[in-house]
Amino acid sequence: MELRLDEIVARFGGEIVGAGDTAIARIGTLENAGPGDLAFLANPKYRPQLKTTRAAAVIMAPPAVDGPAAAILTPQPYLYYARVAQWLNPLPDPEPGIHPTAVIEGEVAATASIGSNVWLGPGAKIGERVVVAANCSIGAGVEIGADSRLAANVAIYAGCLVGARCLIHSAAVIGSDGFGFAREADGAWVKIPQVGRVLIGDDVEIGAGTTIDRGALGDTVIGDGVKLDNQIQVGHNVRIGAHTAMAGCVGIAGSAVVGARCTVGGGTVILGHLQIADDVDLAAGTLVTKSIPNAGSYSGAIPFLEHGDWLRNFSRLRHLDAMADKIRALEQRLAALEKKS
């Protein structure tokens, strides 16, 4: 596929600087782009590379600068890049049909593509143009909306619903039992049947190895447009609002409610039964131990240090209370002295 700058601008807007008939075959980084590559400047840190880039053209915010052979000026170069990249890299059309080794006990739309050794349980429904890659296991009664794609080796338990245009990566698990047990007097655990479902909206992306438990009573709900990176754990009855995005290795305990348009940094843990408001940004590595009723940015991770400095400083953590006591004692003794003098 090859595009001209003026074709791109006709579709996505922006202003061309230089030759409108510049041919574009690929997207590249400022540093590594060559002829035929369209690069972009989104992070000011890379601005010096404008002088040396060999890209055919650069997507950037105005004003135009010397350097690139040509440019598209737009107020949001990263978003513009995303759109052009999608146009240049269209998803391959699924090859409709069911591989002869797949075991199909449910219904598959005629335009869907089912890979080898897939299992589809009774009553399950696969929508139009859905792609299910090899070795996926899809339980009874699961429904998958039009144009969704499952990479290889995904497991979806019985009864879960997946919306349209979703993308689910390998080794993801949807609908496993939540972690619910009552304790007997001797410490043994009695399992609480997990009879809810997982409901996944439209345009959701779920990363490799991410696990989403079904509800205990009621459902676990992932809103439209939610983006979950790899190895995220979502407990039973969690609700995640629309367009919230979470980086890798996040854990969300049962019944937590996360609002819409939140961003959650990698490795953050949200404890159970908490409520997080809309538009909350959580820094990486934060342990969220109470509800957050207001939008804003929150952090909880601690700085790392060279090991010797760490030993000196962090060992003090065990004595913070004693330090506070000493300060209070000093204040009292000093006040007494001040009175005297």
**Is 293 a binder of a second copy (CB under 8 A)?**
no
Which residue lies nearer to a second copy by CB, 20 or 266? Answer: 266
Which residue lies nearer to a second copy by CB, 21 or 273? Answer: 273
End-to-end CA distance of the chain: 87
CB of 257 to a second copy, least distance (A): 13
Stretch that binds a second copy, among 52-60, 62-70, 122-130, 133-141 (CB under 8 A): 133-141
Place of tokens 């080796």: 153
The binding track of 32-51 with respect to a second copy, each residue x by CB under 8 A or -, is: x-------------------
Q: Which of 236, 273, 307, 319 is catalytic?
A: 236
79 CB-near residues (< 8 Å, 6+ apart): none
**Is 309 a binder of a second copy (CB under 8 A)?**
yes
**Is 110 a binder of a second copy (CB under 8 A)?**
no
Which residue lies nearer to a second copy by CB, 66 or 307? Answer: 307
Region class of 5: left (phi > 0), else alpha (psi between -120 and 50), else beta:
alpha
Q: Which of 6, 205, 274, 275 binds a second copy (CB under 8 A)?
A: 205
Q: Helix 77-88 and helix 5-12: axis angle, to 10°?
A: 110
Q: Which of 251, 258, 264, 276 binds a second copy (CB under 8 A)?
A: 251
**Is 101 a binder of a second copy (CB under 8 A)?**
yes
* Cα–Cα separations (whole angstroms), residue 68 to 10, 47, 115: 21, 11, 45
- Dist. CA 260–CA 242, nearest whole Å: 5
337 three-class SS: helix
- Dist. CA 142–CA 160, nearest whole Å: 5
Known catalytic membership, residue 236: yes
Which residue lies nearer to a second copy by CB, 125 or 214? Answer: 214
Q: Could you list the active site residues?
A: 236
